[in-house]
């Protein structure tokens, strides 16, 4: 019998998919990854076994996720369309890594998932899977005509569940969908699809009103992030509400909470400008923008992401130090920084002393830089006589 590893969530969709795959004659191993979401794994496991899964595997990938995906993302400074810290995009390849490990352990030929045909997640899961195992086959029921025709809406799923003794949660479904992990929670769909309507306040689960925070020291990446999530959340850090461009070419609206990583991102960025040479910073910025797109589009496991990651890592060798941030009612305020590897030279920059810099040097610097401008404006006829043309004929302030 052909064996499938199903990325299982315990919810209505993947429970129906599980049953449907069994109907189709597959043996199904359900897989769940603990990426830090708030989830009753025991209940999900019981449910899957009851439906007919031959095995339910839950793997704890939190520490790996923080160390090998979140930390590098902060170092690489990846941020999508200038605002989104890529919490879901980073989790997908990490989950796929553990899922493909399960594929190998159980010697399967297929994987399956409940992602729909319009989103980014299907792409991120499958590209990662193909990269990790070019021979793997994917069953994506929401793109299989037979499945889609059978389940045209939520009611069809509910009826199928009822007919097949699949337990359905008594709680009413939230009017949005949610993806949570230790880095962030994202909210989209449902009532959020109208970008002219603010997200409701009871949506947020990770960020709260300010309280007192403990004064602790942490060493493990996982513990550092957990701590930052806690105090960041308490100070309301890291909420964004954006419309973003999906890889498939649609625009979609999402609301995100990323408290701990928002703090790390701001602190790292500050330290980086402090430590790095200006021109390396420029190149890093270019590469980082490309990397954000690779990650968002699902190309974490790809030749280009591997290559650019190496280049970005190379840039970080001298980025070390201590940054002081204030967290206050949603703000991450960098107020001070120190570093032994910074190129900042207080003595040299001081306005009060001519220091080691020849004070006349800038004259030549400006003169040389102006050659090109003078030539251009000479050649194009902009001279003293037409300054007026550029100006508004400024009004003179009346004074005695």
Applying the rule CB under 8 A, the residues between 339 and 358 that interact with a second copy are 341-346, 348-352, 354-355, 357-358
Instruction: Output the six-digit token pair for 352.
Output: 């009060």
Nearest approach, Cβ of 164 to a second copy (angstroms)? 22
- Evaluate whether 337 touches 321 at the Cβ level (below 8 Å): yes
User: According to CB under 8 A, which residues from 87 to 126 bind a second copy?
Assistant: 97-98, 100-101, 103-104, 116-119, 122-123, 126
Query: Does 2 sit near a second copy (CB under 8 A)?
Result: no
- Contacting residue, 153, 171, 202, 209, with a second copy by CB under 8 A: 153
Nearest approach, Cβ of 346 to a second copy (angstroms)? 5
Nearest approach, Cβ of 319 to a second copy (angstroms)? 12
CA-nearest of 262, 193, 195 to 229 is 262
CB atoms under 10 Å from CB of 81, counted, come to 13
Nearest approach, Cβ of 181 to a second copy (angstroms)? 15
- Evaluate whether 49 touches 81 at the Cβ level (below 8 Å): no
CA-nearest of 300, 304, 302 to 93 is 300
Element housing 245 (H / E)? strand 239-245
Q: Which is nearer to a second copy, 218 or 365 (CB)?
A: 365
Instruction: Output the six-digit token pair for 367.
Output: 């003169």
User: According to CB under 8 A, which residues from 178 to 237 bind a second copy?
Assistant: 189-190, 193-199
Measured in whole angstroms, how far is the alpha carbon of residue 318 from the centre of its chain? 25
Beta-bridge partner residues of 327: 332
Segments in 241-344 forming alpha helices (H): 259-275, 278-297, 303-315
- Contacting residue, 82, 172, 209, 214, with a second copy by CB under 8 A: 82
CA-nearest of 117, 251, 116 to 195 is 251
Q: Which is nearer to a second copy, 169 or 333 (CB)?
A: 333
Instruction: Output the six-digit token pair for 248.
Output: 């498939």
Q: Which residues are catalytic?
A: 13, 92, 121, 177
- Contacting residue, 57, 78, 224, 319, with a second copy by CB under 8 A: 57
Query: Does 278 sit near a second copy (CB under 8 A)?
Result: yes
Nearest approach, Cβ of 62 to a second copy (angstroms)? 10
- Contacting residue, 17, 225, 308, 319, with a second copy by CB under 8 A: 308
User: According to CB under 8 A, which residues from 14 to 43 bind a second copy?
Assistant: 34, 41-42
Query: Does 379 sit near a second copy (CB under 8 A)?
Result: yes
- Of 15-23, 165-173, 223-231, 327-335, the window that binds a second copy (rule: CB under 8 A) is 327-335
The length of the chain in residues reads: 400
- Contacting residue, 133, 222, 226, 227, with a second copy by CB under 8 A: 133
**Which one-letter DSSP state was computed for residue 360?**
T
SS3 379: helix
């Amino acid at each position: 019998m052909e064996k499938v590893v199903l990325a299982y969530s315990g919810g209505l969709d993947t429970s129906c998919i599980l049953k449907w795959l069994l109907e189709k004659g597959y043996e199904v191993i359900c897989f769940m990854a603990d990426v830090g979401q708030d989830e009753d794994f025991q209940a999900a496991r019981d449910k899957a076994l009851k439906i007919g899964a031959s095995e339910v595997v839950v793997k704890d990938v939190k520490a790996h996720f923080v160390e090998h995906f979140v930390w590098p993302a902060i170092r690489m400074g990846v941020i999508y369309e200038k605002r989104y810290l890529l919490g879901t995009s980073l989790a997908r390849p990490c989950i796929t890594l553990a899922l493909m490990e399960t594929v190998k352990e159980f010697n399967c030929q297929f994987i399956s998932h409940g992602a729909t045909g319009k989103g980014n997640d299907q792409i991120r899961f499958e590209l990662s899977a193909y990269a990790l195992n070019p021979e793997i086959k994917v069953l994506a029921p929401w793109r299989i005509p037979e499945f889609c025709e059978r389940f045209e809406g939520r009611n069809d799923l509910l009826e199928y569940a009822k007919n097949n003794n699949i337990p359905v949660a008594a709680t009413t479904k939230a009017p949005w969908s949610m993806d949570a992990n230790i880095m962030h929670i994202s909210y989209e769909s449902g009532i959020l699809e109208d970008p002219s309507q603010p997200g409701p306040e009871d949506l947020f689960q990770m960020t709260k009103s300010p309280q007192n925070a403990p004064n602790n020291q942490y060493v493990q990446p996982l513990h550092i992030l957990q701590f930052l999530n806690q105090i960041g959340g308490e100070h309301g850090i890291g909420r964004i509400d954006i419309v973003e461009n999906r890889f498939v070419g649609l625009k979609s609206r999402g609301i995100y909470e990323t408290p701990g990583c928002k703090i790390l991102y701001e602190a790292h960025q500050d330290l980086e400008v402090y430590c790095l040479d200006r021109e390396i910073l420029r190149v890093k910025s270019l590469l980082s923008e490309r990397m954000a797109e690779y990650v968002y589009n699902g190309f974490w496991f790809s030749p280009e992401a591997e290559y650019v990651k190496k280049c970005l890592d190379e840039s970080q060798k001298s980025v070390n130090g201590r940054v002081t941030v204030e967290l206050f009612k949603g703000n991450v305020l960098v107020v001070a920084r120190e570093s032994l590897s910074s190129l900042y030279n207080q003595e040299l920059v001081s306005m009060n002393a001519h220091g080691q810099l020849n004070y006349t040097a800038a004259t030549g610097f400006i003169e040389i830089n102006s050659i090109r401008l003078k030539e251009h404006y000479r050649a194009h006829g902009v001279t003293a006589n037409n300054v007026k043309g550029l100006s508004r004929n400024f009004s003179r302030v009346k004074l005695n």
